[in-house]
Structure 1
Amino acid sequence: FVEIQTPSSSDANEVFETINSRGKDLSTVDLVRNFLMEKSTGSHEKDRVNNAWRSLLDDFQRREDIEKFLRHFWVSKHGDVKSHSLYVTIRKSLTEHFDQRPQVYGVGKFSAELENAASRYAELISQNTGDSDFDATLSEVKALSADALYPLLLSASERYEYHEMQALLQAALSYYVRWTVVGTRESTLLEENLFGVAKDLSKGESLENAAKRVAGWIPDDDAFFAAFKEASIPKQAQSRYLLAKLEAHLRSDAGIHEEISFGAGKVHVENIYPSNPEVHLKVDDHDSWLNRLGNLTLLSGKRNQVTSVRPFPEKAHIYSSSSMLISSRAQVASLWDSETGRWRMQGIVERQDYMARIALSVWPSSINVG
């Protein structure tokens, strides 16, 4: 430990930042707290900052969640800013407010806003809003790691009840799936759009108008259908999510209301045409077919490596008897030619076309926003 004596707390904070800039970087959260303590005009404001930070530590279990919250909180009010420049941006913007005379917006008000937003953000990321339908859709956001949606939801939750935000959330989710997950388009534009709406919401734009704007960016059915038919999804979390949603749709159509947990360990994603087929059955362009959605399905329980690599005739009964309709009733058998005893890649194309038609209803382009 090194003791450095300074004539004032302001000087102490300046020394703190100088040492930090020349040594191991502190987190943005630490730097912002230090800055707010520096700008506090008395013990009351310092207590307000400390109370806000205690709330952050209570609301979030992981340090990374606090870091993510701080950025999303700022984005929800001011638009896009990258993590590496977040502290500099916050410091510059707040200094302009805090140094105004007479001061209209000070440390206490900012700390109160931060504390209030933290509790709502914790409810969003933990799917614990108290609205079961809204929480169910939030679980899809988490399954996809669609973090770009949180600033928009945080901004809306400041003035609206969660049940009122369902249309906005559904529009944003369809936009994310159609644009990013299946369409594999540049995510930067999607983020800019959503962050811009979040900023406008915080400045008073109506929820209905915000939802209409988001819905207007959802790729149309023709584009989505074409992208889905060709989609290859190497990320297992994303493929599990897509297949689980298709499964839920099939179950609804079949009048099956049994609840199934689609979490990791409960069901697994199976490559029908396997990643390591027998040498004489390996097809040309093996890698390009492996993660095509038409080649993927769901089976209950953890993945059994021994079963997965068996020839199709030896595991056909596993698919046909599966409780997962995406396996038992979704054209899995079309991937195998029983006459030639070889894999049939056209079956992947046909099955994926079938899945794409279902997907149009699962992630609609037309959202009723009121």
Structure 2
Amino acid sequence: MDAKARDLNQIFDSTISFQIPLFQRPYVWQEEHNWVPLWEDIQGLMDHRLRTQKSRTHFLGAVVLEQMRNVAGSIETHQVIDGQQRFTTLQIFMIAARDICHQFESGKYYERFADLVGNKASKVDFEHERYKVWPTNSDREAFKLVHGVGGLEALEQRLQEQPKLHEQNQQVIDGYRYFYCQLALWLHGELDEEPGEQASDIDERLDALWQVVSNALQVVVINLSDDDESQVIFETLNARGTQLLPADLIKNYLFRRAQSEGQDIESLYEQHWKAFDAKFWRKEVKQGRTKRPRIDLFLQHYLALMLREDVRSAHLFEAFKEYVVALEEGDKGFQLTAQPNSIESHLQSLSRYARSFRKFAEPEAGSRLALFLDRLQAVDTATVYPLLLLACDQLLPADRTEFDRVLVVLESFLVRRMICCMTTKNYNRLFIDVIKSLDKRGKINAQVLQEALQANEGDSVRFPTDEELRHSIVKTPIYKHLAQYKIRAVLEAIDLAQEDRKSEVLTLPRNLTIEHIMPVKWQANWSMPEDVAADPEKRLAFNQERNRQLHTLGNLTLITGSLNPSLSNASWGQKRPELCKYSKLNLNRYFHPPKEVEPDPLLEWSEAAIECRGQELYQTAKSVWPYQIAGS
């Protein structure tokens, strides 16, 4: 058995044929689970190439091949024992890339990609040997179609003219469609995070595409010898097992180098790595829609901080190696993070920042950090963790007060943007840029962080003002724009801030539900003025305004789930006493009858009352999430 890492140019550029045998399953990869992650990895590599003019290698997995005796054909032929889904997908992608190059009239890159997906007619004896990969039987007609059609428009025309072609393997056809469209969008710059931020020249983008496909994408090719039992190996590779994590590869890399340098690796392990082998770090935790081992998340945030760039989860090992090599070649690093200059110092640095990261997983009960992390779940972003790592490392334990002030600034920025329904799309780049800004100042504290955040302009990055916050709370039908768990977090924070010395401190249960005080179905018990009801135009305008206002924050509160059914569509005369009787929340003290004001202004719950309460909630929210932190 021979195993070597090879790039796609090394695998496919020669006159060669990879055949997928009959007994293999057909092509089944799909968009969500397979094509999208692969495309995101490739796009990340191409974007990196455009920004830096450097290629970052990316490991795509392994394929197992068995060389066939050359009796049926004239060229070198291998049977694909394992990895046929990956090989087929790569060929579909490169076929799409070839056809895209033809669309842009780039003969040079068209020929290069053509050499990776097909053998020259003069070199083969049989028709199927023209294809670098010859799929299993059920996929062949669809594969031949996309291989020879020449472009997406021609494909759609063929499918329209010959409806029976739809009966071929749809996954092969849909895969071609997907990659062709993504490539076209990327080449036109439409997938850039910020329009115009990268090179717009088509030749530069085509070159980046070629460099990534030919040199950056790598596959471990395992060639079986005559003595290897292909079926046993196939079963072993596909058996259930524990997957190697990027941390395992990094550990191997660091300790092998330490050993070659004659260092005491047992001592290094005990001092700096042993903790990483505990269950705590390998536990899978949820981030976004997926679960990942905690150590993967730490490494991603650590590398983003140390490199000052966004690092994709699939590139952790490669990015770490590049980081080590860059420092060895004289890269001085950055002012606020001590840059390691030896294998031992790399281990020390990992261990040091891991201690900070562990505080985020196990915050002290009742601390400002615990409150911040709880509210961060509502914002639903992990992009702030590199900045948190920096703040924690620089400020704790010496200056906990300043660290807590940093959390207030960061929370104010994030929650204000959430309440104002602003995008989180560019947060990864934003917080890397903020760290760079702090680098220039040479320090991190609440004041400089606030200045760095408020210096940003544009809807995707700016710090919402008090007036914007007020308008979103008082005027915006926020219930229609934000998920309920986000609104619940805002109301819970306001409720906490409304505590006074006379009210008991409550730990809010997690089963509180959001209640519209004026119900969504208000028509039965919440009448409109008679003069409005009699005029169709006034009635329409009244309905529109009421339906907008009842979804604003001023008309929303929290109640227990058991109370909800009896309140839902009741009149204000019935609903108000129930709120006052059963709810102990500070939010709902607002509805208690005032003792000094006559007449009671809340005898009627109207649009004016909603706006008045909205103004009060805004005043509290402004103090919880200030635009200017006290003392700045």
1:302 to 561, 564, 577: 561
Task: Give yes or no for contact 1:289–1:295 (8 Å, CA) kept in 2.
Answer: yes
Q: Would the alpha carbon gap of residues 228 and 257 (structure 1) be closer, same or farther in structure 2, given more than 3 Å must change?
A: same
In 2, the alpha carbon distance for the partners of 1:215 and 1:69 equals 24
Q: Which residue is equivalent to 2:345? A: 109
In 2, the alpha carbon distance for the partners of 1:199 and 1:143 equals 26
Instruction: State the Cα distance separating 1:201 from its structure 2 match.
Output: 5.3
Q: Would the alpha carbon gap of residues 369 and 148 (structure 1) be closer, same or farther in structure 2, given more than 3 Å must change?
A: farther
Q: Which residue is equivalent to 2:413? A: 175
Q: Would the alpha carbon gap of residues 109 and 347 (structure 1) be closer, same or farther in structure 2, given more than 3 Å must change?
A: same
Residue deviations 1:261-310, cap 9 Å, x none?
A: 12412x332222334556686984587455421121022x3354422424
Q: Which residue is equivalent to 2:590? A: 329
Task: Give yes or no for contact 1:69–1:121 (8 Å, CA) kept in 2.
Answer: yes
In 2, the alpha carbon distance for the partners of 1:258 and 1:273 equals 28
* Aligned partner of residue 184 in structure 1, secondary structure: coil
Q: Which residue is equivalent to 1:19? A: 62
Q: Which residue is equivalent to 2:141? A: none
* Aligned partner of residue 159 in structure 1, secondary structure: helix
Q: Would the alpha carbon gap of residues 363 and 19 (structure 1) be closer, same or farther in structure 2, given more than 3 Å must change?
A: same
Task: Give yes or no for contact 2:310–2:429 (8 Å, CA) kept in 1.
Answer: no
**1:149 and 2:384 matched:** yes
Q: Which runs of 5+ in 1 are unaligned?
A: 8-13
**1:34 and 2:280 matched:** no
Q: Would the alpha carbon gap of residues 58 and 331 (structure 1) be closer, same or farther in structure 2, given more than 3 Å must change?
A: same
- Range that drifts further, 213-222 or 119-128: 213-222
* Aligned partner of residue 616 in structure 2, secondary structure: helix
In 1, the alpha carbon distance for the partners of 2:588 and 2:613 equals 11
* Aligned partner of residue 251 in structure 1, secondary structure: coil
* Aligned partner of residue 105 in structure 1, secondary structure: coil
Task: Give yes or no for contact 1:127–1:135 (8 Å, CA) kept in 2.
Answer: yes
| Residue identity opposite 2:468 in structure 1 | A
Residue deviations 1:210-259, cap 9 Å, x none?
A: 4343463543322322232234043222212211222223223xx33522
In 2, the alpha carbon distance for the partners of 1:166 and 1:87 equals 30
Q: Normalising to structure 1: TM-score of the pair?
A: 0.74
1:264 to 492, 503, 510: 510
* Aligned partner of residue 384 in structure 2, secondary structure: helix
Q: Which residue is equivalent to 1:224? A: 469
Residue deviations 1:85-112, cap 9 Å, x none?
A: 64376146235348759xx735543333
Q: Normalising to structure 2: TM-score of the pair?
A: 0.46
Q: Would the alpha carbon gap of residues 160 and 240 (structure 1) be closer, same or farther in structure 2, given more than 3 Å must change?
A: same
Task: Give yes or no for contact 2:309–2:432 (8 Å, CA) kept in 1.
Answer: yes
Task: Give yes or no for contact 1:155–1:201 (8 Å, CA) kept in 2.
Answer: no
Higher helix share: 1
In 1, the alpha carbon distance for the partners of 2:295 and 2:323 equals 19
Q: Would the alpha carbon gap of residues 202 and 115 (structure 1) be closer, same or farther in structure 2, given more than 3 Å must change?
A: farther
| Residue identity opposite 1:171 in structure 2 | V
Instruction: State the Cα distance separating 1:124 from its structure 2 match.
Output: 1.9
* Aligned partner of residue 187 in structure 1, secondary structure: coil
In 2, the alpha carbon distance for the partners of 1:107 and 1:358 equals 51
Task: Give yes or no for contact 1:69–1:118 (8 Å, CA) kept in 2.
Answer: yes
Q: Would the alpha carbon gap of residues 326 and 332 (structure 1) be closer, same or farther in structure 2, given more than 3 Å must change?
A: farther
Instruction: State the Cα distance separating 1:174 from its structure 2 match.
Output: 0.9
The aligned runs of 1:165-244 (5 Å cut-off) are 165-178=403-416, 180-199=417-436, 205-208=442-445, 210-214=448-452, 216=454, 218-231=463-476, 232-233=478-479, 234-244=482-492
In 1, the alpha carbon distance for the partners of 2:437 and 2:253 equals 30
Q: Would the alpha carbon gap of residues 310 and 18 (structure 1) be closer, same or farther in structure 2, given more than 3 Å must change?
A: closer
Q: Which residue is equivalent to 2:139? A: none
Q: Which residue is equivalent to 1:70? A: 299
Instruction: State the Cα distance separating 1:35 from its structure 2 match.
Output: 4.8
**1:293 and 2:553 matched:** yes
* Aligned partner of residue 411 in structure 2, secondary structure: helix
Instruction: State the Cα distance separating 1:152 from its structure 2 match.
Output: 1.3
- Range that drifts further, 34-43 or 321-330: 34-43
| Residue identity opposite 2:319 in structure 1 | I
* Aligned partner of residue 37 in structure 1, secondary structure: helix
In 2, the alpha carbon distance for the partners of 1:251 and 1:51 equals 45
